Amino acid sequence: MGTGTARAAAEAGGGAGDWGRRAGGRGPDALVPRVPADVLVDGQACDCQAAACRVGDPVRLEVRLTNRSPRSVGPFALSVVPFQDHQNGVHNYDLHHAVSFVGSGTFYLDKVQPSGQVACLGALLFLYTGDFFLHIRFHEDGPSKELPPSWFCLPSVHVRALEAQA
């Protein structure tokens, strides 16, 4: 966990994060991920509410992706970028003093076969209280530019870091 590697799962699963085909779409831009991806914080699925954690405790993060397209996809990388939203349109990405990754915040993924599944496992430490968001981004890691740009937009995950209990 937290090593920046991806673990390929043998079974294909259905989930909110499955890659699918836009209704009525044609061509390569018709393939888009169903939003949101299956994202778990400390084993709990992320939904509209903030995931709570304690300051200083490691927080496990898992992003599960299932390839529902008829062709292989990849290679690509997935990065987790923490930020704070100051509720005035300004996002603060300079959080080196407030958030630390255990291992790496970037996961390198090989090709994912049709109906294949991959899970990225990592961990973070929140060093101060507050509301934080995790922006999950895809980056193409190969010379091929076959993935549509819409695949690179996943929703942010809201994490609320609370005071550590004495």
Label the pairing between strands 19-21 and 157-162: unpaired
Q: What is the per-residue pLDDT across 42-63, written as a single tens digit (0 to 9) for each?
A: 888 877 678 899 999 999 999 8
The per-residue pLDDT for 146 is: 59
Cβ–Cβ < 8 Å for 111, 42: no
Q: How much is the pLDDT for 101?
A: 93
pLDDT at 54: 94
> For 73-113, what is each residue's pLDDT tens digit?
878 888 899 999 888 888 989 998 899 999 889 998 888 88
Burial of 41 (0-12, 13-18, 19+ CB in 10 A): buried
How far apart are alpha carbons 58 and 111 in whole angstroms?
30
- What's the mean pLDDT in 25-30? 37
Per-residue model confidence as pLDDT tens digits over 72-83: 887 888 889 999
What CATH class does 6-162 carry? mainly beta
Q: Is 57 left (phi over 0), alpha (psi -120 to 50) or beta?
A: beta
Q: Which tens digit of pLDDT belongs to each residue from 122-161?
A: 999 999 999 999 988 877 665 555 554 545 666 788 999 9
The residues, any chain, with a CB within 8 Å of residue 136's CB and separated by 6 or more, are 37, 39, 63, 78, 79, 80, 81, 154, 155, 156, 157
The answer to whether residue 21 scores a pLDDT higher than 60 is: no
Query: What are the residue ranges spanned by the domains of the chain?
Result: 6-162
Structure tokens at 110: 């090989």
Global confidence as pTM: 0.70
